[in-house]
Amino acid sequence: MSQEKENRQYENAQSVQEGQQPHKRRVRYKGRYPKKYEEKYKELQPEKYQDTIQHVMQKGNTPAGMHISIMVKEIIDFLEIKPGQIGFDATLGYGGHTKAMLQCLQGQGHMYATDVDHEEAAKTKKRLEDLGFGEDILTIKLQNFCTIDEIAKEVGGFDFLLADLGVSSMQIDNPKRGFSFKADGPLDLRLNQEAGISAAERLEHITRDELAGMLYENSDEPYCEELAKAITDEIRKGNHMDTTTKLRQVIEKTLDFLPEKEKKETIKKTCQRTFQALRIDVNREFEVLYEFMEKLPGALKPGGRAAILTFHSGEDKLVKKALKAGYKEGIYSDYSKDVIRPSAQECAQNGRARSTKMRWAIKSE
């Protein structure tokens, strides 16, 4: 044993005796692109390891702890932001869209943003402050974006507005949040972990019919009946569905009857749809979006512009229906009859952009 190692062991033993936490060496950064989240410390410190960040992004991947904003050019082109205007970002997230909109204001006007994720919002606030976007031009509120009417009343309405309805990459990638079936972690799925119940708690008391309905309504899951039976049967046996791995394993077992050539891909898509359905349910996403779309016209100033990014058919149908109805009633002078999609180049650089649809509306003068 080396002298250095002996010294370290002695120091650790002394620390334990004195009631202190022993020094713990950081996990070695394994290879160029480690797979485990806790091993990706270089990606989690973009300000220190820019070369690593660039390598990861050049591969078409999103670095851990980061989020690559989608369709920034298309959004900015549509919103036509002018210095002095008042804007609203419904979902602050990593702050990429917010930053682009703030830059358009050129130091004049004000942006308001909401987010229910207290932990990520604090990081984003610091990140934007370091770029020169402090409280004089940006106000961040830790509340749901369906409270847009309260904020609009307080500030006199918005000239431009963005609602990016997607879950941020830093939430998906962190195993502690439970958004992904690819890594083991608690089956949580809440955007705000300080409110409501987790997906695991939700499943504890759900009926078979209710779960089948949730899977079908929230994600068009074709195997909703089979999955609902398998999951509720496991819970009834006392096998708590409290981790992402346990839920994935039940899905795999349930679909084991599929032909080998299609089994792997079908299980992957079924996992994605099941986790999506649970996430929508525990965060009341459809209810929140419906309320937001109802309040949207009253929050916009005459001539105000709104852009909305959706990521699955349920969201898109709801947004499309609301904008079309508003146009027919004369609330909007124009709206997007067709969706705008990210370019092929953007999808190649950021795989998470592929399912994105953008719709827009302009408030009547």
Nearest CA among 193, 198, 356 for reference residue 278: 198
pLDDT of residue 155: 95
pLDDT reading at 64 higher than 60: no
pLDDT of residue 6: 54
Q: Which of residues 94 and 103 earns the better pLDDT score? A: 103
The residue ranges of DSSP E strands in the chain, in sequence order, are: 86-89, 110-114, 138-141, 158-164, 300-310, 332-335, 357-363
220 annotated ligand binder:
no
pLDDT reading at 156 higher than 80: yes
CB atoms within 10 A of CB 58: 9
Q: Are strands 110-114 and 300-310 parallel, antiparallel or unpaired?
A: unpaired
Residue 217 · residue 278 · CB < 8 Å: no
Mean pLDDT (the chain) is: 85
Place of tokens 């009633």: 329
pLDDT of residue 126: 92
Q: What average pLDDT does this structure show over 318-343?
A: 95
For residue 19, name the pLDDT band (cuts at 50, 70, 90): low
∠ CA 207-209-215, nearest 5°, is 100
pLDDT of residue 179: 76
Q: What average pLDDT does this structure show over 328-333?
A: 96
Residues pairing with 112 in the sheet: 88, 139
- Looking at this protein, which amino acid is placed at residue 362? I
Q: What average pLDDT does this structure show over 74-84?
A: 96
* Residue 288: partners with Cβ closer than 8 Å, 6 or more residues away: 144, 145, 146
145 annotated ligand binder:
yes
Greatest alpha-carbon span in the chain: 80
Question: Which stretch of 97-101, 125-129, 191-195, 271-275 has the lowest confidence by average pLDDT?
Answer: 191-195
Q: What average pLDDT does this structure show over 231-258?
A: 93
Tell me which H or E stretch contains 16.
helix 3-17
pLDDT of residue 20: 54
For residue 312, name the pLDDT band (cuts at 50, 70, 90): confident
Residue 283 · residue 191 · CB < 8 Å: yes
* Residue 169: partners with Cβ closer than 8 Å, 6 or more residues away: 62, 66, 67, 68, 94, 352
pLDDT reading at 58 higher than 70: no
67 annotated ligand binder:
no
HSE on the CB side for 100, CA within 13 Å?
Answer: 21
Question: Which stretch of 192-201, 224-233, 344-353 has the lowest confidence by average pLDDT?
Answer: 344-353
Q: What is the pTM of this model?
A: 0.78
- Residues, the chain: 365
Question: Which stretch of 57-71, 75-89, 186-200, 231-245 has the lowest confidence by average pLDDT?
Answer: 57-71
| Phi, psi (deg, nearest 5) at residue 335 | -155, 165
For residue 362, name the pLDDT band (cuts at 50, 70, 90): very high
Residue 60 · residue 70 · CB < 8 Å: no
Q: Which of residues 247 and 179 earns the better pLDDT score? A: 247
Q: What average pLDDT does this structure show over 167-175?
A: 71
Per-residue pLDDT tens over the stretch 42-53: 556 665 656 665
97 annotated ligand binder:
yes
For 62, the token pair is 């999103």
pLDDT of residue 16: 46
157 annotated ligand binder:
no
Residues pairing with 89 in the sheet: 113, 162
Q: What average pLDDT does this structure show over 61-80?
A: 80
133 annotated ligand binder:
no
pLDDT of residue 350: 79
171 annotated ligand binder:
yes
Q: Which of residues 69 and 338 earns the better pLDDT score? A: 338
